[in-house]
Structure 1
Amino acid sequence: MRPIADFIMRGRVQATLVVAGCAALPLLFWLSAAAGCLVLLRRGSDASSVLGLGLLSGLVSWHFTQDPAGLLVLLGAWSLALMLRAGHSWNRILLGSVAVGLLCAVCVGTVFSSAVEPLAKAFADVLPQAMGEVYQSFSADQKAAFGALMVPLTIISIAFSSQVLSVLCLILGRYWQAMLYNPGGFGREFRAIRIPRKVALSLLAIMCLAPFFGTYTLILSPLCSVPLVFAALALIHGLVAQKKLAGFWLVGVYVTLLPFMQLLGPLLVVLAIVDSLIDFRGRLASKDADNANGEG
């Protein structure tokens, strides 16, 4: 990944080529978003022309593909990069990602509504096959209710994925910046992420109560889980570094997480909340200091 970062920061032309060129390609919009984050974090307001051309390229791509995902991720990642550039902590960045997810949902439901209906119809067509005999046992009213949920669930899915990808692109851009100009800096930043107790409990309360206030407030549950999931991953990274464990532990975590996210996601949320109450890293650091005997 370093050669890509080196090429992006070689000059304005190279940065524009990556940001604008990748934004025009549906499968590489994430690289455009990460490259834009790198340029913005490093150059500040000087990156405006590069980001402007990247945004224009993203608009052109949306016009031809009618897929809003790339444009939403570009705007979301660069908005979070502006917060990070302004000196906000990663805790605030992750909380800001909830607002990014909500704005994405509003945009998808209004500006990009034409792209939602075909996806919702495709999900509705697949639903009987996915649920099998269970779906066939439903009454006509229950089937109609499931059909009515397709559009809201599609909006929630797009907004949630846009939020997660925005955070991941910012992480990649920050990692590139640290690799080029501050080796090891991003690792220290990420491992220090810990959601404060009141904030973590507030997020948990919103996640639990949101489904009771209607279909569209249901979106708050997955969006509010994102900061806690990333905080749990930061905790795992911090414990591995603190105990000087081998890197394969982290590889094992991510290899397990990707296919079983639906099962492990709630466990990570719980882990982050418990850490906000107990502070595992702080307790282990204190314990190690108390046990220091001057050897090694």
Structure 2
Amino acid sequence: MFKALAAFVMRGRIQAIVIALIGSWIPFVSQAVLGLVTLRKGWQEGLIISLWASLPAFIALWLGQVAAPMALASIAVFFVGFMVCLVLRQSINWPLTLAASLLLSGLAAVLITAMQPTLAADVSAFFSTLLESDDTQLTPELQALTDGWSQISASGLIAYWIAVSTLLGVLLARWWQALLFNPGGFQQEFHGLRLNPQFALLFVVLTVAMTAGGAQLQFWSGLCSLPLLFAGLGFVHWFVAKKGWNTGVLVGLYMALILIPLSALLLMLLALLDAVLDLRNKLNTNQAS
């Protein structure tokens, strides 16, 4: 089904625009269409799809149907995704692509914050509306989502959301591209995703520094840790494939990421060790000997 959808998108600009617009109702589909077109056809076609894909968010912003920060963040996802895909297209370098997604997402969030002096109040109101129910008793965790926001923490949330949405869209687009033009290529790229030691240490330092800044910087900390998390996932996917294990292991990993926060920390540690010690090469060497 996904291969057929990707093939339809590649038939022409009109088809890509139609799926990009329809995909606004389905998570990551519009971002994937934009990414596929940009990766395959270049910046001109990619920019056209970016404008069309962001049209629903522009209309919602103009009509006031959603809070301005949310609409602006949705628009930012498409244009950040467009630029990140250009970086990947030109460099074919995933560590550089991950770094670009962090930098661009952070810049986009700073711009949105500058444009919206009431960002903290808007985010608080968004979660209050989202959690409205007849039962007014909220758990402390949910209550924390409705108050206590500052401009810094709210901008961090926006940056984190833009980066995650962008990266998932780019990964899906790269997978579609491989399905059509390079079967198995995406798996090879993802399994080979390894940060160089300088990048890995930089992300660790940034993550630790943001974490030390307290609750106000927790989303900024999460943003800085994303490359380590994705690199750790790439390593685990490679290891599972190397061992020939059942894909149920990967399902369990993703469930653990949702249910056990410590599992994300272990993945990031694994990515750091792989970057510094080149675990893949060591494991291959040990197996050969």
Same fold (TM over 0.5): yes
In structure 2, how many angstroms separate the alpha carbons of the residues matched to 1:212 and 1:190?
31
Conservation of the 8 A alpha-carbon contact between 1:16 and 1:50: yes
Alignment partner of 1:78 is 2:77? no
Residue 139 (structure 1) aligns with: none
Give the aligned partner of residue 32 of structure 1: 30
Asked whether the 8 Å contact 1:232–1:272 carries over to 2, the reply is yes
Structure 1 residues 209 and 45: CA distance shift in structure 2, 3 A: closer
Q: Give the 3-state SS of the residue equivalent to 1:154 in structure 2.
A: helix
Q: Which amino acid aligns with 2:272?
A: I
Q: Residue 120 of structure 2 contacts residue 150 of structure 2 at CA under 8 Å; is this kept in 1?
A: no
Q: What does residue 159 of structure 2 align with?
A: 159
Measure the CA separation in 1 of the matches of 2:106 and 2:115: 14
Inter-partner Cα distance in structure 1 for 2:245 and 2:9: 33
Q: Which moved more, 1:84-93 or 1:108-117?
A: 108-117
Q: Do 2:80 and 2:104's aligned partners in 1 also have CA atoms closer than 8 Å? A: yes
Q: CA deviation at 1:183?
A: 0.1
Q: Which moved more, 1:54-63 or 1:74-83?
A: 54-63
- For this pair of structures, how many residues does the alignment match? 275
| SS in structure 2 of the partner of residue 258 of structure 1 | helix
Deviations 1:169-217 (Å, cap 9, x if unpaired)?
0000000000001000011011111111222122111211235568766
What is the CA distance between 1:147 and its match in structure 2? 5.3
Alpha carbons of structure 1 residues 188 and 117: separation in structure 2 relative to 1, 3 Å = same
Partner of 1:234: 234
Residue in 2 aligned with 1:131?
140
Unaligned runs of 5+ in 2: none
Report the counterpart of residue 294 of structure 1 in structure 2.
none
Counterpart-to-counterpart distance in 2, 1:92 and 1:45: 18
Counterpart amino acid of 1:13?
Answer: I
From the CA coordinates, give the structure whose radius of gyration is larger.
1
The unaligned stretches of length 5 or more in structure 1 are 136-142, 291-296
Mean Cα displacement is larger for which, 223-232 or 97-106? 97-106
* Map of 1:254 onto structure 2: 254
1:62 aligns with 2:41: no
- Letter of the aligned partner of 1:287 in structure 2? N
Measured at CA, do residues 116 and 60 of structure 1 come closer, stay the same or move farther in structure 2, by a change above 3 Å? farther
Q: What is the RMSD computed on CA atoms of the aligned residues?
A: 2.9
Distance in 1, matches of 2:124 and 2:116, equals 13
CA contact (8 A) 2:195 2:275 kept: yes
Query: So what's the TM-score if we normalise by structure 1?
Result: 0.82
Structure 1 letter corresponding to 2:18 = L
1:96 aligns with one of 78, 82, 100: 100
Question: 1:50 aligns to what?
Answer: 49
Give distance in 1, aligned partners of 2:231 and 2:60: 33
The whole-number CA distance in structure 2 between the counterparts of 1:234 and 1:159 is 23
State the SS of the aligned residue for 1:10: coil
Per the TM alignment, residue 29 of structure 1 is displaced from its structure 2 partner at its CA by 5.9
TM-score of the superposition, structure 2-length normalised?
A: 0.83
Q: Which amino acid aligns with 2:253?
A: V
Q: Which whole-Å CA distance do the structure 2 matches of 1:147 and 1:7 have between them?
A: 45
Q: 1 CA distance for matches of 2:52 and 2:147? A: 40
Separation in structure 1 between the aligned mates of residue 32 and residue 167 of structure 2, nearest angstrom: 10
Q: Taking structure 1 as reference, are residues 259 and 9 closer, same or farther at Cα in structure 2, changes over 3 Å only? A: farther
